[in-house]
Chain A
């Protein structure tokens, strides 16, 4: 067990746990699905470090890929697919022009 491996595992564990907390705290449903697909991704990397390469392959393909695909399609069917709220439709170039929020 080298030291660098320990640091990598610590970083991945932190990433997985914070993504799991994000799923419950974020208001937007699309962002919640994105955070929920980060959890199996970090878990797949952890499985590689734990000498389980077959589980890592399955977790990355099925857990991160297929499951988030199902959830994203379900979001569209459930009518929850909203990238932005109606009032906060801005991008980097064009700021909001309603007038009640001046930067």
Chain B
């Protein structure tokens, strides 16, 4: 049986699926290492999408074997760009992993919320200011910002 779908449809679905799975993993994952893996998946989907831009179903690989008349070839320019993007992707992954190693040395954990918590505490400790209240706490529990002295007299506050 011949299914009534074309090759391009399958490949576009795969590319979009990889990109969306990767982005969902970057946004949703709680562990930082899983986030790096999801970034690699999204990048692979983008590469597939770029190669697919120059694809023709009736063409041959872009390698010249004879001079003169040749059959139609797929577009080699996106392939050259993807060749560069793959190598850059490995570089990005190595950089992200090295940042993860530094985070692990500094804060001792790779859980996202714990890292944010400890980073906040360290910033507040270094600048010797009171810790900022989390933006996720309910509105009524946040302290109101203090009014500067110059505006107090205008409003008829003290004295």
Interface residues of A (CB under 8 A from B): 1, 3, 5-6, 9-10, 13, 16-17, 20-21, 23-24, 29, 32-33, 36, 39-40, 43, 46-47, 50-55, 58-59, 62-63, 66-67, 70-71, 74-75, 77-80
Contact = CB atoms under 8 A, between A and B. Distances in A.
B10 A9 contact: yes
Given A43-B47, A47-B51, A74-B101, A52 B74 contact: yes
Interface stretch (B38-46, B127-135, B140-148): B38-46
B33 A29 contact: yes
A21 to B, nearest CB: 6
Contacts of B18: 16-17, 20, 39
Interface in B2-51: 2-3, 7, 10-11, 13-14, 17-18, 21-22, 24-25, 28-29, 33-34, 36-38, 40-41, 44, 47-48, 51
Contacts, number: 127
B110 A6 contact: no
Most B CB contacts (10 A, CB to CB) among A5, A29, A52, A80 go to A52
A58 B94 CA distance: 17
A36 B51 contact: no
Q: Which of B10, B13, B59, B62 has the most CB of A within 10 A?
A: B10
B115 interface: no
A70 B94 contact: yes
A22 to B, nearest CB: 10
Contacts of B7: 1, 5-6, 9
15 contacts: A13-B10, A20-B41, A23-B34, A23-B37, A43-B44, A43-B47, A51-B59, A51-B74, A52-B74, A55-B47, A67-B89, A71-B36, A78-B101, A78-B104, A80-B33
